[in-house]
Structure 1
Amino acid sequence: MISVISAGIAPGVALLAFFYLKDRVNSEPLSMVFRSFITGGLLVIPIMFLEYTFVIEGVGQSPFVKSFLLTGLMEEFVKWFIFLYTIYKHVFFDEHYDGIVYGVSISLGFATVENLLYLLANGIEYAFGRALFPVSSHALFGVIMGFYFGKSKFKRKHPKQMIAIALILPAVLHGLYDFILSAVQSNWLYVMVPFMIMLWALALRKVKLANQEKKVVHLDRRNKWTGTI
């Protein structure tokens, strides 16, 4: 039991630490990150209930609808909603990269509880594959969501459009991930591995851009404080 619990929790914590440590200037308070992580985990309960209800009622069970609407859109919407109403206007969300930290923490809280429940039901032998694909994909969707929330708040250009993209892009990518699993019956790894590589490249690009923006902001602040011209 202890080994299953450890295997269920470890990937989420490791990925959260990875993206947290990518925050090179003024890291976020661990209490806020932990609270976001726990909040994300609590979202699993209502989502699982809704998804189970749709299965029992036989509603929307075609691969496309189930992947893009009942899984991708629904799961990303609840994470987006929690971010928008608990993080977006918070005083600690004061720099672009902070959006990535909080987006990842909410997503990985969700992914960790989901992963733990799956391993408890199906066995520890699935731990490596779950860490490599579902858990890491949730983290990457969180990066993308948080990046566009940060862009909305600090770039000040088309903020409503950026908030919409913060939902739409992760939902589409999440739906595509699930659609690959449900529609590709054989040799699915030949499709999934390139997709995951693309997803990692996209997310790490967002991390780099957000960190560059953060450095510019801190340089401007330092120049104002020191009188540098």
Structure 2
Amino acid sequence: MTVVTLFTAALAPAISLLVYFYLRNQYGSNMIGQVIKAFIIGVLLVFPVMVIQYALEGEALITEPWFKAFVNAAFLEEFFQWFLLYFIAYRFGTLKNRYDGIVYAVSLSLGFAAAENVLYLMATGIDFAVGRAFLPVSSHALFGVVMGYYLGSARFKVNDHVKKWLFLALIIPVVLHGFFDLILLTINQYLFTSIAPFMIFLWWFALTKVKKANERTE
């Protein structure tokens, strides 16, 4: 296995999903520069998050699967992504419409997923590439869609519920991410039949947000 093969297998799913969601923008916003910056920020974010996660596990603070799923994985990863998006997209970004929030969030989430995927495949081998493309990488993209939708709704003050949208931008991805990881951590037999319905729901939920974000009036 060459380094080029590994990096291609690790990065291809993230880039493909990023292109897919970027092209779903019916407003035609040109955000290539912002997309690249957000993706790079996501790549860099994986390292401090992994250090914190490793420290928590090393101190034996994590004893239950639900805590590892919802706190050590879901909350830490989604909080830092939400925190960065709040400043680079919501406060100081150039959001022109709600869908731009999705583009920012998906870019950052997939940068994180791509770096995580590279590290994982370097440790375990390329045999896991297909499974990770369909599960961890795609789920990160979908969590990003949800976060970006609510962040965009807050930015454009949909129904004037700014604080509510900002809260939902964090809590809903955390809950979805937590359940995803909990399934992977606790179910050994019939894993596919357990995770498949959740992934179908996640895709449906995210794509409804894509559709709503592309509506020009509400």
Pairs within 5 Å for 1:96-175 = 96-154=98-156, 155-175=158-178
Q: 3-state SS of the aligned residue for 2:211? A: helix
Amino acid at match of 2:128: Y
Contact 1:20 1:27 in 2 (8 A): no
What is the aligned partner in structure 2 of residue 73 from structure 1?
A: 75
Aligned pair 1:87/2:89, yes or no? yes
Q: 3-state SS of the aligned residue for 1:113? A: helix
2:203 to 186, 193, 200: 200
Instruction: Report the CA distance between 1:104 and its aligned residue.
Output: 0.3
Contact 1:8 1:115 in 2 (8 A): yes
Instruction: Report the CA distance between 1:91 and its aligned residue.
Output: 4.8
Amino acid at match of 1:30: I
Structure 2 segments unaligned to the other structure (5+ residues): none
Pairs within 5 Å for 1:171-190 = 171-190=174-193
Identity %: 44
In the alignment, the residues of structure 2 paired with residue 59 and residue 79 of structure 1 have an alpha-carbon distance, to the nearest angstrom, of: 23
Q: 3-state SS of the aligned residue for 2:214? A: helix
In the alignment, the residues of structure 1 paired with residue 62 and residue 165 of structure 2 have an alpha-carbon distance, to the nearest angstrom, of: 29
Structure 1 segments unaligned to the other structure (5+ residues): 218-229
Aligned pair 1:64/2:66, yes or no? yes
Instruction: Report the CA distance between 1:156 and its aligned residue.
Output: 4.8
Pairs within 5 Å for 1:213-224 = 213=216, 216=217
CA shift in 2, pair 1:29/1:64, >3 Å: same
- Whichever of the two has the greater Rg, that structure is 1
Please, what is the CA RMSD of the aligned residues?
1.2
What is the aligned partner in structure 2 of residue 18 from structure 1?
A: 20
Q: 3-state SS of the aligned residue for 2:66? A: helix
What is the aligned partner in structure 2 of residue 220 from structure 1?
A: none
Contact 1:51 1:70 in 2 (8 A): yes
Instruction: Report the CA distance between 1:153 and its aligned residue.
Output: 1.4
- Name the stretch that deviates more: 188-197 or 55-64: 55-64
1:28 to 14, 27, 30: 30
Q: 3-state SS of the aligned residue for 1:87? A: helix
Poorly superposed stretches of 4+, deviation over 3 Å: none
